[in-house]
Amino acid sequence: MKKIFLSFAVLAMSMAMFTSCSDDDDEKKPAEDIRTITFEGDEWASLIPEGQAYEVATLVYGEDALNYSWTDAQTQLQGGLTLAWGGTYGLAEGGTVVSNYIDANVAEHASSDYQLSVPVSNGSKNFAVVYCDASIQFPEGESHVVKSMDIAPTTYLLGEMKNGGYGKALTEEGDYFTLTLTADNGNTLDIDLARDGEILEEWKTFDLSSLGAVNKISFTMDGSDRSSYGVKQPKYFAFDNVVVKF
């Protein structure tokens, strides 16, 4: 009987030592460094145009557009205008712009005069609006995993997808409007903003981790309703709460 008690005692001591070692190992593991870009604060508010229409959004059109860019202090993620045609047309050449405009009037305000609005708030004040083609990137030589991002259609895009305009409403079987994210490592991710009559109408969090470690993510859009110039729907969307793993 003493031998049995002794065996139990040795087993208990071994389990205690194993548990202690496991606890020590857990303590040695560094906490995952996760940083979230929320676009909140005075430094971001200064990047919001005073108006959305071409005539009043002078921060992202005209001469000021040549200097428009943003960099997140905690992640160093960068965005701004692409200036793909030399900068003469500002945001119309593509880019990412900080905004805080909310406009739920999708039926009547589906035009470029409301190009920086989203139809519904996600609970925060600021966000970024993208006109494709555009991109965001980390400093040269740095790559990180962008774990997720909140995405929504703009008021302009949602009005066109629901009601039509220059293009048709995307409310039927076979209709689609897709946002494609392309990483500099070659990985891609397609996000349907409309598909077979189902339309994204509010903010939704999308997992981007399948893109892997990236230095740059490019945004493009494509859809079923096209002309010789490309898709007929306006190539706008909004993003917020970008979660980055370091």
| Residue 146 and residue 218 in contact, taking contact as beta carbons nearer than 8 Å | no
Residue 150 has a pLDDT of 98
Q: Residue 139 and residue 125: Cα distance in Å, rounded?
A: 27
Residue 62 has a pLDDT of 93
Using CB atoms within 10 Å of the CB of residue 171, give its burial: 0 to 12 exposed, 13 to 18 middle, 19+ buried: middle
Classify 82 as helix, strand or coil. Answer: coil
Residue 5 has a pLDDT of 43
Residue 27 has a pLDDT of 61
Residue 31 has a pLDDT of 82
Instruction: Please state the CATH superfamily assignment of the domain spanning residues 33-245 in this structure.
Output: Protein of unknown function DUF4465 (2.60.120.1350)
The model's pTM is 0.88
Cβ-proximal residues to 178 (8 Å cutoff; 6+ apart), any chain: 190, 191, 192, 193, 195, 221, 222, 223
Cβ-proximal residues to 232 (8 Å cutoff; 6+ apart), any chain: 166, 167, 168, 223, 225, 226
Residue 11 has a pLDDT of 45
Classify 50 as helix, strand or coil. Answer: coil
Q: Where are the domains of the chain?
A: 1-30, 33-245
E strands along the chain, which residues?
34-37, 69-71, 78-80, 95-99, 101-102, 117-118, 127-131, 134-137, 144-152, 176-183, 188-195, 198-199, 204-207, 213-214, 216-223, 226-227, 230-231, 236-245
Q: Residue 118 and residue 202: Cα distance in Å, rounded?
A: 9
Classify 20 as helix, strand or coil. Answer: helix
Q: Which of 126, 142, 143, 161 is nearest to 239 (CA)?
A: 126
Residue 6 has a pLDDT of 43
Residue 77 has a pLDDT of 98
The DSSP secondary structure of 207-246, one letter per residue, reads E-GGG-EESEEEEEEEESSEETTEESS--EEEEEEEEEE-
Q: Which of 219, 208, 193 is nearest to 243 (CA)?
A: 208
Residue with token string 């909310």: 102
- Averaged pLDDT, groups of 10, the chain, 246 residues long: 45 50 58 95 97 96 96 98 95 98 97 97 97 98 98 98 97 98 98 98 98 98 96 98 98
Q: Residue 202's CB: how many other CB atoms inside 10 A?
A: 12
| Residue 97 and residue 91 in contact, taking contact as beta carbons nearer than 8 Å | yes
